[in-house]
Amino acid sequence: MTDTTTAPTGLPEKIRHYIDGEFVDSLDGEEFDVINPVTNDPYIRAASGKKADVDRAVASAKRAFAEGPWPTMLPRERARVLGRIADIVETREQTLAEMESFDSGLPITQALGQARRAAENFRFFADLIVAQIDEAYKVPGRQANYVNRKPIGVAGLITPWNTPFMLESWKLAPAIATGNTVVLKPAEFTPLSASLWPGIFEEAGLPQGVFNMVNGFGEEGFAGDSLVKHPEVPLISFTGESSTGQLIFANAAPWLKGLSMELGGKSPAVVFADADLDAAINATVFGVFSLNGERCTAGSRILVEESVYDEFVERYAAQAKRVKVGLPSDPTTEVAALVHPEHYEKVMSYIEIGKQEARLVAGGGRAEGFETGNFVQPTVFADVMPDARIFQEEIFGPVVAITPFKSDAEALELANNTRYGLAAYIWTSDLKRAHNFSQAVEAGMVWLNSNNVRDLRTPFGGVKASGLGHEGGYRSIDFYTEAQAVHINLGEVHNPVFGKQ
Ligand code: NAD
């Protein structure tokens, strides 16, 4: 099959920055090509931001913070704007999904789900700031104390290319809900859906300068790096690779910036012999192949108890072979095109490594029928040893490693045997084992007999190389606000007297 994809209607003529209420080009006029993952042909030009563009965007955000009204508006008033943003995202969900799917290669049905989740994020944080309870303490007759939750200033938001619109909403909603102003740096591979934010925000009545966006690359001297090193951006919320997170951590250190890091993963799905195997197979197939495998919480290492291992591998491989690879725009597609040829090459190179390290039981190459674009077969390796690279390293594509274990202790050792610690999935009918395993597994989030569903009130984040800090629910409010303690004297003033002769 060759390309039958067509650009969605309403494509902008170019991707520009958005600063102080206006779409603008880079000051030096530089641009780069954005690629359609189905053909790998460039389909649009995007402005490439540098330090000077970031300086302009930060100045705009700073002005909007200092002059208001956004930071001092009542939470209920800000919540109304957020509610309108959610409504607009919902009414445009089809367009948003088409753009996202076209730009990133995500299957259209899954892109639609992500657009809906983006609307939910705004609705959720609108509700949360209105319901916010502030802490207060008192020592009867002596003093009372309360905590002021204050917006911090200009938040720098740096996002990756997987589910870009939803991940941007995950940072934008709490950052602005709490009264900050922002500069967003979207991922360079997928800037299209982000170009819709300005129209959505303007229509919802977000004051000028509260939202600013600089497109382009992350490396030194470019937009991402310049945002991290800008002295007037006191906090950075970053989602991306662990190695990029380490670099940002070091680059932000001279200013002691507030950092939230949502990083890579190599999450285990542990299947015990007493599990409901049908449910476990369905969920673990979905867990690694949905979103093209480009999911931070993908259960990309499946650990299976020895007594059901052969059956599991056989049934899993058979189901993986039935996963439908197709064009992103086809509503029956389950796995579509990886985001970019560079990423395709990376995933394919891991498949070749896997063929040396383990037993290939499904897939293993370019998806049949697709001569162009970044289409990879859902690929399953069995008998993967813990020292294999495909066991240890994040592939971020439709590739899974299956490993047997003999005992609970070995399962735990294998589960914890990588540098990552984002998620873990546990399949067992033994409740005691499920809870004990959850306690011991090194993962920020655990799903028991469940696929990846998440209540927005719960903390989201990883341990070890998977992240720093948590967002989600009140954790996001904590991250995007300063907790200022105010102490009030209720009794006599007992000032110690110093230096009085
Ligand atoms: P990446 O680290 O290459 O890039 C992420 C963003 O950082 C991009 O916008 C990029 O331009 C920018 N960037 C790059 N270098 C920078 C620098 N020196 N300073 C500032 N910004 C810089 O990641 P990616 O390839 O876009 O995304 C995939 C990765 O993201 C995977 O590792 C995945 O697991 C991770 N991810 C994690 C979560 C999570 O919540 N834990 C969610 C989604 C994706």
Establish if 81 belongs to a structural domain: yes
Strand-pair category, 22-24 with 41-47: unpaired
Q: Hey, which residues does 467 pair with through a beta bridge? A: 262
Mean pLDDT of 383-404: 98
Q: 354, 405, 356: which is closest to 381 by C-alpha?
A: 354
Mean pLDDT of 368-389: 97
Catalytic residue among 93, 98, 188, 262: 262
109 falls in which pLDDT band (50, 70, 90)? very high
Give me the torsion for CA of 460, 463, 465, 471, rounded to 10°: 20
Same domain, 444 and 469: no
Q: In this structure, what token pair is assigned to residue 412?
A: 């735990």
Instruction: Please tell me the distance between residue 164's alpha carbon and the centre of ligand 1 in angstroms.
Output: 11
Helix (H) / strand (E) element for 151: namely strand 143-151
- The CATH number linked to 168 is 3.40.605.10
pLDDT, position 7: 84
Mean pLDDT of 234-263: 98
pLDDT digits (tens, 9 = 90+) for 432-465: 999 999 999 999 999 999 998 999 999 999 999 9
Q: Hey, which residues does 184 pair with through a beta bridge? A: 157, 213
Which of 229, 241, 251, 468, when mutated, tests ligand 1's pocket best, judged by the most ligand atoms within 8 Å of its CB?
A: 241
Query: Can you give the residue range of the structural domain that contains 322?
Result: 268-448
pLDDT, position 148: 95
- Asked about 442 being catalytic, the answer comes back as no
Establish if 494 belongs to a structural domain: no
Tell me which amino acid residue 295 is.
R
Helix (H) / strand (E) element for 156: namely strand 154-158
pLDDT, position 160: 98
Same domain, 368 and 253: no
What are the DSSP calls for 244-262, one per residue?
A: HHHHHHHHHGGGT-EEEEE
pLDDT, position 357: 98
Residue, of 78 and 133, whose pLDDT is higher? 78
Catalytic residue among 93, 294, 296, 471: 296
Answer whether residue 493 shows pLDDT above 80: no
SS3 346: helix
Contact 124, 454 (CB under 8 A): no
- Asked about 296 being catalytic, the answer comes back as yes
Q: In this structure, what token pair is assigned to residue 130?
A: 């209105």
Contact 292, 374 (CB under 8 A): no
Answer whether residue 376 shows pLDDT above 90: yes
Answer whether residue 501 shows pLDDT above 90: no
Number of compact structural domains in the chain:
2
Residue, of 16 and 4, whose pLDDT is higher? 16
Q: In this structure, what token pair is assigned to residue 209?
A: 């300068």
Q: What gap in Å lies between CA 17 and CA 46, rounded to an integer? A: 9
Mean pLDDT of 299-327: 98
Answer whether residue 3 shows pLDDT above 60: no
Q: 395, 383, 384, 319: which is closest to 351 by C-alpha?
A: 395
Establish if 457 belongs to a structural domain: no
Largest CA distance in the chain: 95
Neighbours of 499 (CB within 10 A): 4
The size of the chain, in residues, is 501
Q: In this structure, what token pair is assigned to residue 150?
A: 């204050």
The average confidence (pLDDT) of the chain is: 96
Answer whether residue 253 shows pLDDT above 60: yes
Same domain, 252 and 318: no
Contact 286, 451 (CB under 8 A): yes
Task: Estimate to the nearest angstrom the gap between the alpha carbon of 247 and the chain centroid.
Answer: 18
pLDDT, position 496: 79
Q: In this structure, what token pair is assigned to residue 314?
A: 């056989």
Same domain, 323 and 225: no
C-alpha distances out from residue 21 to 46, 176, 267, Å: 18, 16, 41
- The CATH number linked to 341 is 3.40.309.10
498 falls in which pLDDT band (50, 70, 90)? confident
Neighbours of 30 (CB within 10 A): 15
pLDDT, position 1: 44
Strand-pair category, 154-158 with 235-239: parallel
Establish if 154 belongs to a structural domain: yes
Q: Residue 34: CB partners within 8 Å, gap ≥ 6?
A: 15, 42, 43, 44, 45, 46, 103, 188, 189, 190, 191, 192
pLDDT, position 2: 38
pLDDT, position 484: 96
Q: 451, 447, 446, 163: which is closest to 291 by C-alpha?
A: 163
Lowest average pLDDT, out of 8-12, 111-115, 308-312, 455-459, goes to 8-12
Same domain, 444 and 367: yes
Q: Residue of the nearest CA to atom 10 in ligand 1? A: 218
Establish if 350 belongs to a structural domain: yes
Q: In this structure, what token pair is assigned to residue 204?
A: 């919802």
Strand-pair category, 258-262 with 467-468: antiparallel
Same domain, 157 and 281: no
C-alpha distances out from residue 487 to 140, 145, 146, 492, Å: 13, 4, 7, 14
Name every protein residue with a CB atom under 6 angstroms from any ligand 1 atom: 158-162, 167, 185, 187-188, 217-219, 224-225, 228, 239-241, 244, 247-248, 262-265, 296, 394, 396, 422, 462, 467
Answer whether residue 379 shows pLDDT above 60: yes
Answer whether residue 5 shows pLDDT above 80: no
Same domain, 305 and 328: yes
Which of 183, 296, 470, when mutated, tests ligand 1's pocket best, judged by the most ligand atoms within 8 Å of its CB?
A: 296
Answer whether residue 66 shows pLDDT above 80: yes
37 falls in which pLDDT band (50, 70, 90)? very high
Phi-psi sector, 260: left (phi>0), alpha (psi -120 to 50), beta: beta
Establish if 323 belongs to a structural domain: yes
Contact 71, 65 (CB under 8 A): yes
User: Which DSSP category does 196 fall into?
Assistant: G
Q: Residue of the nearest CA to atom 39 in ligand 1? A: 262
Q: In this structure, what token pair is assigned to residue 88?
A: 């607009």
Q: Locate the ligand 1 atom nearest the alpha carbon of residue 161 and give its number.
A: 26
Instruction: Please tell me the distance between residue 244's alpha carbon and the centre of ligand 1 in angstroms.
Output: 6
pLDDT, position 276: 98
Lowest average pLDDT, out of 137-146, 196-205, 248-257, goes to 137-146
Same domain, 425 and 481: no
Look-up of token digits 């799905």: 269
Same domain, 369 and 396: yes
Same domain, 93 and 241: yes
Same domain, 255 and 280: no
Tell me which amino acid residue 330 is.
D
Task: Estimate to the nearest angstrom the gap between the alpha carbon of 48 and the chain centroid.
Answer: 22
Same domain, 273 and 236: no
Q: 88, 161, 98, 155: which is closest to 122 by C-alpha?
A: 88
How many alpha carbons lie under 13 Å from residue 65 in its C-beta half-sphere?
Answer: 25
Q: Locate the ligand 1 atom nearest the alpha carbon of residue 189 and give its number.
A: 26
Q: 196, 265, 208, 252: which is closest to 419 by C-alpha?
A: 265
Establish if 470 belongs to a structural domain: yes
Helix (H) / strand (E) element for 448: namely strand 445-448
Establish if 12 belongs to a structural domain: no
pTM of the predicted model over 0.85? yes
Q: Locate the ligand 1 atom nearest the alpha carbon of residue 187 and give its number.
A: 9
